[in-house]
Amino acid sequence: MEIFALALLGLVQGLCEFLPVSSSGHLVLLSNLFGMDNSLFVSILLHVATLLSIIVVFKKDIWHIIKHPFSKESIDICIATFPTCLIVIVLMPIINTSFEGTFLPFAFLISSFFLGVSEFVYKKREKFSSTSYFSTKTVITMGVAQGLAVFPGISRSGTTICAGLLQGGEKKEVAKFSFLMSVPIIILSMIMEIGEIIINKQTISINILGTILAFIIAFVVGLLSIKMMINFTSKINFKYFIAYLLLISLVSFFIV
């Protein structure tokens, strides 16, 4: 049963981390549904798995950023990361409480609302104007959106992509930047989680086979979901995700 639960966590992490439905929200929901404990160590490993997915898909872009630390791409990522970190630091007490799940149904609703508004506005803009641009204002807005999406149930990828589209960004460029800007945040969150384990002197007890399986599943499914999300974003067709988020919001009212 433990191996099955870990495999399920890997599937959810890999699929929901990059699709606009919130991986953290689903993990909180599953924890409440099956009475599973949230293992920080397992969380770290699953974050590493999805981070590797990003590195594999965007290896050329990431290598370019590493080789050219003062390029526009590198500076944009730094600019986006700053408001994200600032918001997380300010809201940390509320964020910790939100993982109990009370806010979860409303967070799923907020995600569906963001998707609906961005799809409507983008298609209306596309109808009257084909002009698109990716400005510093777009970068900052996406960074703020990423900070607010730290709450479980509010999708990081969905919120940041919606923010970029609403600011006039081009579809594929916004989607790619959304994934690239998540790299430093995932790394910083892993450092925080490792620090919490060390500070609290937590004992790590895991099912090795189940954890390895969860890692592999999260990595492989992460690769597929990144490509899937880029495809959905290029078409600006979020209606299925909107319907799903409305349904999962209703379901979560009865679980959390």
What does the pLDDT look like over 215-230, one tens digit per residue? 999 999 999 999 888 8
- pTM, full prediction: 0.88
pLDDT for 190-218, tens place per residue? 888 788 778 877 666 677 888 899 999 99
* Structural element, H or E, at residue 46: helix 40-57
Distant-in-sequence, close-in-space partners of 172: CB < 8 Å, separation ≥ 6:
230, 233, 234
Range name among 129-138, 178-187, 189-198 with the lowest pLDDT average: 129-138
Q: Residue 46: which of 9, 18, 98 has the closest Cα?
A: 9
pLDDT at 64: 92
Query: What is the tens place of the pLDDT at every residue in 94-121?
Result: 887 888 778 899 999 999 999 999 888 8
pLDDT band at 85 (very low <50, low <70, confident <90, very high): very high
d(CA 186, CA 181) in angstroms, rounded, equals 9
126: Cβ contacts below 8 Å, ≥ 6 apart: 236
What is the average per-residue pLDDT within 17-27? 87
Average pLDDT over residues 183-194: 86
Q: In Å, how far are 77, 78, 86, 110 from 69, measured between CA atoms?
A: 10, 10, 22, 35
